[in-house]
Structure 1
Amino acid sequence: MTAEHLLRTLPAPADLRAQCRAMAAAEAVLNPDGYRYHAFDPAWAEGVEAYSLRNGAGDECDAVFSPEGVLLRGFDHESPMSPYVEDRPWPGVLDSVPAPLARWTAEPAFTADGMPAFTFCLWREPGDDGWRTGEIDYPGGDPAEDGSGWLLHLLADGGPEAFRDWAQHYYDRPVDLAAVRALFGGSPLTPGIAAALHAGLAFDRAAAAVAAAGWPVGD
């Protein structure tokens, strides 16, 4: 999967946001106290929400949901398109980002020592009928070099089954598909869903973990 393929397969912003929130909520129950791969901040900035992916090995992905649109950025630390290869962002990655969204390319959370940490960037403004990315001359002509295919594959694949498969591999334990489906369907966290995802976890701990991500809690 490449950035060009992602332009056709990524969900629309509202669906993407719902999916990001559901993944973060499900993982918050699976792992309420430890380091998490997926997170969602409903108050990342004034009027702005953000999803983040951190794999603990230096690779990153973020989605910024703002009134001006959505910016998707990622950094594959092994990509030949890393800005640290030639001390500048790879040509084309950030050059065409529209002005209302370009401010996020200098966001401190997405930079290191003043360098924008991007190997790919996609965006969608209100009114756009699809995702966009820059005109890029990829190394060796291979769009897969930017890392977007593997960093965004869960968002592109979508659905609870893809997340369940990822979670079972990542946490090396069974993950209840019905419970994941309930969260992906927008259900508030209930004691039954929490117990199915994490047997023996006190519901108040699960509820606090998902509430921090802005997820509703039911009875």
Structure 2
Amino acid sequence: MSVHELTRRLPDVGTVRRVSRALAVLDLVLNEDESTRYYEFDARWSETEEAALMRDGSGDEYSIVFSPDGAFAYGFDHESPMSPYANGHKPWPGLLDGVPEVFHAARDEKAFSDDGVPRATVCFWRTTDAPVWSSGPVESAHRDGADWLFELVADCRPEAYLTFAEEYYEVALDLDAIRHVYALMPLSEYVVTSLNRQRRLRDLSEGIAEIGYPRS
């Protein structure tokens, strides 16, 4: 699945934001080591923006910046032949073509680039008034990494996270607790300990605030 298929499969911006926030909270509960968390969400990215971030620890990553104008996303598969590091330190042809002006600041964000070149093999966006997601006219995009990089936000089912997390963390998890988080319902001690017996709700307050997850 390339970016072209991904943009047809993705749910609306609100659902992508909700699922992204849930993924970050679930990883916060399951993983005490901040440096090795897979999914993060920064509700304070800027005065008007939030950001969903993924880092797999092997060089692959994505970012989705949410703003009043919509959402803008980069994905980077470090093994993709579309990597700028394999193409003279240049973006893949067509990757950034057509990015709306309202997303130029996110497109040029230094946190997502090296020496002014985005770390990206995938790029897509959606403005608040657009009926669908869009991407540039990228050719030969079938190896851009979009299929697995954005798998969980495209699927958006709690069951999808259950499958991922049980494999990644090598533990059995409570699907009802995951559904609770996906619904963005305030965390309880029961939900937290159902996911991780070593964690307590009081330990999560700072992380919950950073993610912008609802409190009771």
> TM-score by structure 1 length?
0.94
Moved more, 26-35 or 203-212: 203-212
Q: 2:105 aligns with which of 97, 103, 106?
A: 103
Report what 1:22 is aligned to.
Answer: 22
Distance 1:212 1:65 in 2: 15
Report the alpha carbon displacement of residue 201 of structure 1 after superposing the two structures with TM.
1.8
Alpha-carbon deviations, 1:45-92, whole Å to 9, x = none? 111000000000111111000112200111111111111222210110
Partner of residue 153, structure 1: 151
**Residue-by-residue CA offset, 1:23-51 (whole Å, 9 max, x unaligned):** 11111111133320000000101110000
Question: Following the alignment from structure 1 to structure 2, what is the Cα–Cα distance between the partners of residues 207 and 192?
Answer: 15
| 1:128 positional shift | 0.4
Distance in 1 between the 2:166 and 2:27 partners?
11
Q: Residue 213 of structure 1: CA displacement?
A: 1.3
Q: 2:93 maps to what in 1?
A: 91
Q: CA deviation at 1:157?
A: 1.1
1:132-211 equivalences under 5 Å are: 132-138=134-140, 143-211=141-209
Amino acid at match of 1:83: P
Q: C-alpha displacement at 1:217, in angstroms?
A: 3.0
Runs of 5+ unmatched residues, structure 2:
none
Listed one character per residue, the Cα deviations across residues 134-159 of structure 1 (whole Å, up to 9, x for unaligned) are 11121xxxx32111111011111111
Q: Determine if the alignment matches structure 1 residue 117 to structure 2 residue 115.
A: no
Structure 2 matches for 1:30-41, cutoff 5 A? Answer: 30-34=30-34, 35-41=36-42
**Alignment match, 1:44:** 45
Q: Identity rate of aligned residues, in percent?
A: 40
The question of whether the paired residues in 1 share the 8 Å contact of 2:94 and 2:137 is answered with: yes
Tell me the CA shift for residue 164 of structure 1.
1.1
1:130 alignment partner in structure 2: 132
8 Å Cα contact 1:168/1:175 also seen in 2: yes
Per-residue deviation at 1:207? 3.5
Cα RMSD (Å) of the superposition? Answer: 1.2
1:96, distance to aligned residue in structure 2 (A) = 1.3
Q: Which runs of 5+ in 1 are unaligned?
A: none
How far apart in 2 are the matches of 1:100 and 1:32?
36
Secondary structure at the aligned position of 1:51 is classed as strand
What is the one-letter code of the residue matched to 1:102?
Answer: H
Asked if structure 1 preserves the Cα contact closer than 8 Å seen for 2:44 and 2:210, the reply is: no
> Is 1:39–1:213's contact at 8 Å kept on the other side of the alignment?
yes
2-structure distance, mates of 1:206, 1:196: 15
Q: Equivalents in 2 of 1:47, 1:211: separation in Å?
A: 16
Q: How many residues align?
A: 214
